[in-house]
Amino acid sequence: MLSAYANCMKIPDLRQRILFTLGVIALCRVASSIPCPGVDPHELGVLFGAMEKGSGGGMLNMFNLFSGGALQKFAVAALGIMPYISASIIIQLMTPVIPTLEKIQREGDTGRQKLNQYTRYLTVIICVIQGGMLAKTMVNPEMLGLPGGAHPVLNPGPAFLITTVIILTAGTMLLMWLGEQITERGIGNGASIIITIGIVDRLPSSVWSMISLVRAGGTGTQNFTIIHVLVILVAFFAICAATVALTQAQRKVPIKYARAVGGRRATTGQTSYMPLRVNYSGVMPLIFASAVLMFPAMIVNWIPYTRNHGWSMLFAYGSGWYMLFYGVLIMGFAFFWVANQFNPIKIADDLQKNGGFVPGVRPGQPTAEFLDFSMTRITIAGALFLTILAVLPMILSRQANIPDAVAQFFGGTTLLIMVGVMLDTMRQIEAFLISRHYDGFLTKGHLRSRR
């Protein structure tokens, strides 16, 4: 495995792509460290300290994690690249629903370029909305139900709001362009790599907070020793292994092709399989569920009546009601994504046209029903595991008193993104190595699931 990393530098094209990707990542980290004008860093630190102790700290830590700590610094890249990811998901979901977008998609490269342009326009709209909400929150932190006292904005007013929205939008568009450059001239998965690097960048500080907790002897109500750290490390590796298994798991549906006869020669029918992924929707249900729950929490905190009568506890991050709503939304979005993206009727028709069939199942409508039934069963298992993985950081944070910054690495969107992106990146680099007759990262140059 170590020799594979050395071989990466021996291939000129791959070496150039890796170095280019590292250079772009450095630029992204610089953009995450330049603060927006008009904000007091000291007061901003006081505000985030209050947020971490309040009910909105967990949610804020999650968004701060995705931005690589840029949100805590209120940097130019405070919104991160998530608006572009959200716009891409929306366009991808609306394409099968809107006939015009579906027609554009069928135009090949020209249609793909048009959809990418629409995605960029939608990204600007999302950035303006989220940037305005974030700037308004900096001016008036009480909007999130947080204790007052910290006012990070030096000169609040319309000029600050307009300037901040423009800067945050420009920062996100810059990250979007850099991500596209990584995809085109680097090792691929540009946007995903930027998010992953931002998450990994927060890992050292999370480890240091855990070390500080051990040195302090606990939180005051619960002891925290080196034994607890070892147990956490074992649990972390076990959860990572389970996440890898969920990401790679698939059901192989056998496919046979009819025997072809041409002239005096007869071709023996081939046997293949159709992989049905257990986690077909990936990390999308978690992103959707988090985005949906964010709006009612803000609305409840904005209205004085609901805020004063404790309605905000229904949507407080980590509470029992929040985990219930979160789990239900994840299950619903998982099935919605499969129903929107997986088309068993089209697959059955394509198999029938190419002379393929599932053994023991008649071609046509019975095959479509069989695929739909099989996909529904494995989606139930995948959605349940995804729900458990999503609520696990909240349980660890609230029940085991593990800091939110540490608990975020024990499941949820953070771990799924890290595992998925790293596996995809390793797969692409491995393809370069094998095409140049070098060994891959594992034995015989193949991952076990791809042998």
| H runs (alpha helix) in 186-302 | 190-201, 203-216, 226-248, 284-302
Give me the CATH number covering residue 18.
1.10.3370.10
Name 275's bridge partners. Answer: 252
Quick one: 243 and 186 in the same domain?
A: no
Average pLDDT in the chain? 80
Model pLDDT, residue 177: 92
Residue 218 domain flag: no
Model pLDDT, residue 430: 81
Look up residue 448 and give its DSSP letter: G
Residue 430 domain flag: no
Model pLDDT, residue 58: 52
Specify the range with the lowest mean pLDDT, choosing from 35-39, 287-291, 402-406: 402-406
SS3 252: strand
Look up residue 140 and give its DSSP letter: -
pLDDT confidence bin for 42, thresholds 50/70/90: confident
Hey, which of 29-38, 206-215, 433-442 has the most confident mean pLDDT?
Answer: 29-38
Quick one: 155 and 64 in the same domain?
A: yes
Distance CA 203, CA 159 (A): 36
189: which residues sit within 8 A by CB, 6+ positions away? 182, 183, 421, 424, 425, 428
Give the residue numbers spanning the domain of 251.
223-410
CB 258 within 8 A of CB 355: yes
Quick one: 152 and 84 in the same domain?
A: yes
Quick one: 294 and 358 in the same domain?
A: yes
Quick one: 196 and 228 in the same domain?
A: no
CA contacts within 13 A on the Cβ side of 192:
20
Query: Which residue would you say has higher pLDDT here, 334 or 450?
Result: 334
Report the candidate in 195, 193, 162 with the shortest Cα–Cα distance to residue 70. 195
Residue 116 domain flag: yes
pLDDT confidence bin for 56, thresholds 50/70/90: very low
Residue 389 domain flag: yes
Backbone torsions φ then ψ of 373, nearest 5 degrees: -65, -45
Quick one: 127 and 193 in the same domain?
A: yes
pLDDT at 90 over 70: yes
pLDDT confidence bin for 235, thresholds 50/70/90: confident
* CB-based burial label for 183 (10 Å; 0-12, 13-18, 19+): middle
367: which residues sit within 8 A by CB, 6+ positions away? 344, 347, 348, 351, 352, 357, 358, 361
pLDDT confidence bin for 218, thresholds 50/70/90: low
Number of structural domains (the chain) is 2
Hey, which of 37-51, 377-391, 429-443 has the most confident mean pLDDT?
Answer: 377-391
64: which residues sit within 8 A by CB, 6+ positions away? 48, 70, 71, 72, 202
Quick one: 310 and 161 in the same domain?
A: no
pLDDT, one tens digit per residue, over 262-277 is: 555 545 557 888 889 8
Name 261's bridge partners. Answer: 266
Residue 97 domain flag: yes
Hey, which of 210-214, 242-246, 257-261, 433-437 has the most confident mean pLDDT?
Answer: 242-246
Query: Strands of 250-257's sheet, edge to edge?
Result: 271-277, 250-257, 356-357
CA contacts within 13 A on the Cβ side of 403:
20
Quick one: 138 and 259 in the same domain?
A: no
Q: Which residues of 274-290 are buried (b: 16+ CB within 10 A; e: fewer)?
A: bebbbbbbbbbbbbbbb
Backbone torsions φ then ψ of 280, nearest 5 degrees: -65, -35
Quick one: 126 and 59 in the same domain?
A: yes
Quick one: 75 and 139 in the same domain?
A: yes
Model pLDDT, residue 370: 92
pLDDT at 435 over 80: no
pLDDT confidence bin for 62, thresholds 50/70/90: low
pLDDT confidence bin for 123, thresholds 50/70/90: very high
pLDDT confidence bin for 448, thresholds 50/70/90: very low
pLDDT at 438 over 80: no
Model pLDDT, residue 431: 80
Name 267's bridge partners. Answer: 260
Hey, which of 171-180, 274-283, 332-341 has the most confident mean pLDDT?
Answer: 171-180
Quick one: 189 and 231 in the same domain?
A: no
Residue 134 domain flag: yes
pLDDT, one tens digit per residue, over 368-425 is: 999 999 999 999 998 998 898 888 888 887 777 777 767 777 777 778 888 888 888 8
Query: Which residue would you say has higher pLDDT here, 446 or 197?
Result: 197
Quick one: 265 and 153 in the same domain?
A: no
Distance CA 270, CA 261 (A): 13
Distance CA 414, CA 403 (A): 15
Specify the range with the lowest mean pLDDT, choosing from 141-150, 209-218, 266-275: 141-150
SS3 33: coil
Residue 425 domain flag: no
Residue 431 domain flag: no
